[in-house]
Amino acid sequence: MSRHVLALTLGDPVGIGPEITAKTLVEQAGATEHHGVAVGDPAALRRGAQAMGLDIEVRVVDSFDVEPAEGVIDCYDTGVLGEDLPEWGVVDKRAGLAAVKSIEVATQAAMDRKVAGIVTGPINKEAIWAAGSEHLGHTEMLGALTGVTKQDTMFVVRNDAADGHHLRIFFTTRHVSLRKALDQINKELVGESIHKAHTALQVFGVERPRLAVAAINPHGGENGAFGDDEIVHLAPAVEAAQAEGLDVSGPVPADSVFHQGLVGRYDGVLSHFHDQGHIPAKTFDFDGTISVTVGLPILRTSVDHGTAFDIAGSGKAGHGTMLSAYLAAVDYAPYVDNIRATYGS
């Protein structure tokens, strides 16, 4: 493939996905080494472009093998909504269906190597459930579509102040309540997560990854006075990984470990519950924090924010994260063979 083609799913068509996709495609039009094709309903992309005040034509395509043309952005028509678009910012079953369909089409294109990877716009979980999807989100849906079960999230946070060092954040647990997450954490799960993170870092070009395992309790548990999760679960998992020769540190107090990773001491940090990893990353750089699903046989990058129904259609959405996710996919396209070789069946 001389030019990397990337499929950008619109996400929920009544959320901010069409707006941020349109703006990203307009900004990246004219690039010679890569080309983005939106996947969804062209009318939704057109409406998104209008809301963002973009004077651009949406060209409907039925192939990903297209020659970019000046003054247009491309949309592969998934044919769910036609011209009959649901209202902005309201959970809608048809919108949920459209979101699911665009993920299915883009994923198949990546499996068939028609595109180098997929970049996903935000979906609304209630809407996809109303449309009959049983998945918690993209991560689970993409696993089912590509036939894998061990897929996981890797955040990429870029710190240009530290020579463009990329900190990657991993998660032992994700979409469960905090209470359940703490109950689920044990030596085995942490050990498995350490190995997944180590492999993912190698897949994306870090030969000998330096991984830190975050602590859970204040001051790393203060030797058991503030909780014993570190003593019972985390330290034994770290020691087992070290005995296998992995460069793993920790448990490191969680109030410092993300900063240490950002300034280059670690290549990755394993966090243990959703917000432990999300808050430092998004607070440091909301637009620069993107998510990559590792463990899939295809490349998938994504925004990490949601559908922002409160501002959908107003043109107020920032497209910075979508742009970062697109540019990350461009950066990672050369690793697609590695991704397939490691995670493909």
Ligand X SMILES: NC(=O)C1=CN([C@@H]2O[C@H](COP(=O)(O)OP(=O)(O)OC[C@H]3O[C@@H](n4cnc5c(N)ncnc54)[C@H](O)[C@@H]3O)[C@@H](O)[C@H]2O)C=CC1
- Site of interaction with ligand LD2JLWAY (CB under 6 A): 137-139, 291, 302, 304
Tally of CA atoms within 13 A in the half-sphere of 116 that contains its CB: 22
Q: For residues 292 and 329, what is the distance between their CA atoms, to the nearest angstrom?
A: 9
Give min distance, CB of 75 to ligand X, in A: 19
List the one residue from 236, 264, 306, 315 that touches ligand X (CB under 6 A): 306
Q: What SS3 state is found at 23?
A: helix
Instruction: Report, in Å, the least distance between residue 307 CB and ligand X.
Output: 4
Does the protein bind ligand X through residue 123 (CB under 6 A)? Answer: yes
Q: Does 122 bind ligand X (CB under 6 A)?
A: yes
308 contributes a contact to ligand X by CB under 6 A: yes
Q: How far apart are CA 104 and CA 97, in angstroms?
A: 11
- Measured from the Cβ of residue 320, the count of other Cβ atoms closer than 10 Å reads 18
Backbone dihedral region of 72: left (phi > 0), alpha (psi from -120 to 50 degrees) or beta?
Answer: beta
> Minimum distance between the CB of residue 21 and ligand X, rounded to whole angstroms?
11
Beta carbon nearer to ligand X, 20 or 212: 20
**In the set 51, 157, 317, 325, which binds ligand X (CB under 6 A)?**
317
The reply to whether 310 sits near ligand X by the rule CB under 6 A is: yes
> In the complex with ligand X, which residue's Cβ is closer, 180 or 316?
316
Distances from the Cα of 227 to the Cα of 4, 207, 240, angstroms: 49, 35, 21
Using CB distances below 5 to 8 A depending on partner kind, what does residue 139 bind out of ligand LD2JLWAY, ligand X, none?
ligand LD2JLWAY
Query: In this structure, what token pair is assigned to residue 13?
Result: 């068509």
| Phi, psi torsion values for 4, nearest 5 degrees | -75, 120
Contacts of ligand X in 138-157 (CB under 6 A): 138
Q: Which does 104 bind (CB under 5 to 8 A by kind): ligand X, ligand LD2JLWAY, none?
A: none
State in angstroms the smallest separation of the CB of 285 from ligand X: 13
What does the DSSP assignment read for 89-131? TS--HHHHHHHHHHHHHHHHHHHTTSSSEEEE----HHHHHHT
Q: Which is nearer to ligand LD2JLWAY, 92 or 230 (CB)?
A: 92
- Closer of 129 and 226 to ligand X (Cβ): 129
In this structure, are residues 200 and 168 in contact, taking their beta carbons and an 8 Å threshold? Answer: yes
Residues that bind ligand X (CB under 6 A): 16, 20, 122-126, 137-138, 302-308, 310-311, 317-318, 321
